[in-house]
Structures are given as C-alpha cells and as structure tokens.
Structure 1
C-alpha cells in the first residue's frame, strides 16, 4: 500500500488521469509533471476511462489464476480425510500420493486446526492456537518456588570477562585457597538463589543461600511467608518441582503449619512452573551476566537493587507494561 502523501497515491493518480483525459494533456507532458514514465501515465489514464475514480485504488496482488494449485477435487479429499479420519498431513499424503508440504498447505488454506488442538474422537477444537496464559485472580493464590544454582565468580574475574584460560586459573587459585571440599554434598563453588514468585502479580521474594538443603528451603519458605504477609498477602498454595528439599517432611511441615497447600509439578515438566523459570532467565540476563564482575562479592552486592528494580520499576509484558508492585497491596512507599 502506498503512502497517503505519495505522488502516485490514489489522489495523485486521479489528478494525473484527469490531466490526460479531461484537460487533454499529452502523455509525455503529464508523465514529466508527475515524475513517472509514459507507460505509467497511460495505464492510469486508461483505468480512469474504464472504471472512473474507483479504478485509482490499489488492486490485490493475488493472481487471477494459479495453474499449479491442486485441483478442487483433491483439496476436498484432503479436507474430507482430515475431518472424517482425523489424519495428519503425512498420512493423508501417503494415502493420496501427494507431497506432505502440499497437504499441509491445503489444510492451512482451509483453516484446519492442528490435531493436538482438537478432540480426537469428535474433531471439535478444544484449544486455541494463541491461547492466553493462565493466571490466578488474587495475590497469594499461587506462589511458584524454585532454586537457581550459579557458579561463583572467583576473585579477579571469571572466564566470561577474562577468557577461558585466565578465568580457570583464578578458579583454581580460589579452590586451593578455600580447600574446595564437599560441604553437605555440594561444592563451595556454587551459590543457590531461592525464589518465591507470586502467580498473579509476578512479585518476587528472593534470597541468596549457601545450599539447597531441606533446612535452608524450609527457612526460606518461612521468610517468604512473612514477607508476603507484611504486604497483606496470604499464601494459599505453593508450587515446586520434585527436588529433594521440597519432598522433605520438614518443608511439608512448614507449609502445613502455615495452612498452605503444597503442589508439585509433573516430573520432567518444568513448563508447569514456568513463571519462576522465566524469572530465572531474567535473573541471568539482567543481573548475573549483565556485566563483567570481578568477584562474587561484587555481584551479590547488586542483587538487592536488582530485586527492588524488578518489583517496583521494571515493566512486565504479562502485566501490560506495569510493574509487579502495582498488583500488590500495602507496599511501603
């Protein structure tokens, strides 16, 4: 579609055609006046004579005929097999001796939904292709909890800032100085960040912890419950993965004493806990690897500022540009 102020917009074409047809300008003079070629001036003048002002509008680019398009009988057989048998493009193609891509284009042309969006017994659509994400209606109805494990940055910088050779040399020096022994089954070279993300508001409470044991997870959960309660949010449900710390009796007892229902995701399905997984990605992009840090202490010193920015200032696409704090009550300031 041309710009409304372009020379050969519908209004400009009409002026050109009227100069040629009504005012009897020579085609060459009209073409020079409107800075177009003579054949172009002749084309618009001819359309004006045949169709009047309506002929000045853009015509669709679709061809009048498509010799390579499949016959209507073939298209009907493809759609018929999809409707009656609920077959996929490959099976229909094998049955009708067609290319799979041809069958796929026919199904798309007739707006046939993917089989995974339909009920296999009735063929009725049960899911939309661009379905809206689920979301609880009030803060505290569902809290997503998870742990993000990050490698600690050695003093002097890691491999992301210094390169692989120098970064590994700093890491070896740190391990030798600390004695890098296993502590409670986990190396001291890692930092464990525990998150609690509210499903409705995306408001997050987070702590940097030395491990992911059941005692640490239970203590973090008690702090998260108190932090949300300070803002008038009563936690009703908690969703976690199947990590050992979340399957412990101590963690279950912590939730039971607070009157919170515990739900766990299906094994090997992190998508179920997708809101906290998405926050983990934001964490890496905007804090953990946002710039080059010279030590783990320097990186952790920026963490509280990042959480404050995320909760109060950062626009969230799921909230139509608002911040998570805009959906939480009783926040100070």
Structure 2
C-alpha cells in the first residue's frame, strides 16, 4: 500500500526505508540524496524526499535521531519542581483608560511548568518562589533591566531557540485560550478586562487537570508547598474567591446586555 507524500507524489513503506537507510549511511544533504535516489526511484522528487526524512526525524543536519517517550509517560527533570515558569507577553486590544483615552496594553502570561499554575498580570506573583524563567527572544525579555532583575532575584533565566515557539509551547497554548475564551467578551474599560482576566485566571487554577492526575493547579501547588515549605513565597497575598467572582458576574451581565440588546 502506498502512503501519500507531498501532494501527488507517493512512496511505499519499502521506498521510505531505502531513503532513510541511504541518509543514515551516507549522511548526504537533501540535494545530493535526491540526485542519487532519482537513479532508481525516479518518481520521488526533492519535496517528497524531504517529507520522508521529516517524518523519520532525519531532515536536520547533522542527523540526530531522538527517542521520545510515549505521550503521558515522560518525566520532568529534577529541577522542574515548583518555580520553573514559562513567560510570554500578549497584546491586548485598545480600550478606554480612566481619563477616556484609548490605549493599548500588554498582558504578561506566566505558567508554572510543574503545577500548571497560571498568573495573568503585569507582574507575576506566584505563591511559591520562582527559580527558573523561560521566555522567547522578544525585546521585552532581552532588555538589560529584565536581565538584571533576574540576576538580583537569583532566578536562572533561559531563552527559547530562535524561531522555535514550540519550545515555549505551554505558555503559547495558554495565550490561545485567553484569545478564544476571554478577549471576545465585550468590555468597556481596561479595569473590566483586567477583572475578567483575574476571574479566568482564578477559575483555571481551580480546574482539575488530567495531566496533574486529577488535581487542580492550585491543589498541586498546595500539595508541593506542604511537602517543601521552603518553596513558599512569603510575599504572595491570596485573593478571596468572592471578590473575584462578584466582579466577573457584573462584567458578564454587562457583556450579555451589549451582545443581546433589546429589540
């Protein structure tokens, strides 16, 4: 049976095996490899050879085959306990400020790798100490002031590889959730948007997750802090549920009224 490769070009399982074996044996680049293969597999063009190599994890040079664990069975390294935080910045739409001016703002999204605990704010304030920070190479994270702040706080600051957003995929995916679940809601002011984000943040941290074996991020954090009290951030000030949800209820009532005006 043939498997479709690169549109109309096809390759059998045996042909795929030949391409991969020749790549490993010769370590030829894509162009040289294609030139050799065309002598006895004339229907395979450069694009189809690249697709075969990509599917086998052999498309990069030098060849480095990776053995990945089965999904759900992988483990984090020892230092991936509470405190390894992925950070990103998301652009928000323009809304009115208190003085009536339309101004754009930026949302800092921070998510802990171990507990999936999230904080949405201008500054991240986790209930535990931050030990590592992973960011992309955006200008807001390459400024000298950001570097100095990390050094002053004793935080191990790390960057993703260039043009590799998947390295920071955990926070990138959460950015997508904010974009689809929060930002489409009609709000009038920045203050209401920030209150709505706080409510979404709080609800997410209380939601059970399969990846945490049925625990919510907040419960995971509480469990780890009970085991290791030294990780606790003494400056963290928890917010009462009622204060958050009362604001969210008010904003949602306004949003429903705007979205469904009286006929």
Deviation at 1:274, TM superposition (A): 2.0
Q: 2:103 — aligned with what?
A: 189
SS at match of 1:288: coil
For residue 265 of structure 1, the aligned residue among 128, 145, 160 is: 160
Q: Could you say which structure has the larger radius of gyration?
A: 1
Deviation at 1:305, TM superposition (A): 1.2
Does 1:284 pair with 2:179? yes
SS at match of 2:67: coil
TM-score (structure 2 length as normaliser) = 0.59
For residue 119 of structure 2, the aligned residue among 205, 208, 232 is: 205
User: Given the superposition, is the C-alpha separation of residues 274 and 94 from structure 1 closer, same or farther in structure 2, using an over 3 Å criterion?
Assistant: same
Q: 2:40 — aligned with what?
A: 96
1:97-123 alpha-carbon deviations (Å, 9 max, x no partner): 43229xx79x98xxx934248973xxx
Distance 1:236 1:305 in 2: 26
Aligned Cα root-mean-square deviation (Å): 4.4
Does 1:307 pair with 2:208? no
For residue 81 of structure 2, the aligned residue among 104, 121, 139 is: 139
Q: 1:213 — aligned with what?
A: none
Q: 1:256 — aligned with what?
A: 151
Q: 1:212 — aligned with what?
A: none
User: Given the superposition, is the C-alpha separation of residues 84 and 279 from structure 1 closer, same or farther in structure 2, using an over 3 Å criterion?
Assistant: same
Deviation at 1:308, TM superposition (A): 0.5
Matched residue pairs, number?
208
1:46-96 alpha-carbon deviations (Å, 9 max, x no partner): xxxxxxxxxxxxxxxx9xxxxxxx99x989966764553356785564121
Deviation at 1:273, TM superposition (A): 2.1
User: Given the superposition, is the C-alpha separation of residues 284 and 82 from structure 1 closer, same or farther in structure 2, using an over 3 Å criterion?
Assistant: same
SS at match of 2:130: coil
SS at match of 2:108: strand
Deviation at 1:321, TM superposition (A): 5.0
Deviation at 1:309, TM superposition (A): 0.6
User: Given the superposition, is the C-alpha separation of residues 248 and 294 from structure 1 closer, same or farther in structure 2, using an over 3 Å criterion?
Assistant: closer
Q: 1:127 — aligned with what?
A: 67
Deviation at 1:126, TM superposition (A): 3.0
Q: 1:234 — aligned with what?
A: 129
More helix by share: 1
TM-score (structure 1 length as normaliser) = 0.48
Q: 1:46 — aligned with what?
A: none
User: Given the superposition, is the C-alpha separation of residues 76 and 128 from structure 1 closer, same or farther in structure 2, using an over 3 Å criterion?
Assistant: closer
User: Given the superposition, is the C-alpha separation of residues 250 and 297 from structure 1 closer, same or farther in structure 2, using an over 3 Å criterion?
Assistant: closer
SS at match of 2:169: helix
Distance 1:324 1:266 in 2: 27
Deviation at 1:254, TM superposition (A): 2.3
Q: 1:115 — aligned with what?
A: 58
User: Given the superposition, is the C-alpha separation of residues 283 and 320 from structure 1 closer, same or farther in structure 2, using an over 3 Å criterion?
Assistant: farther
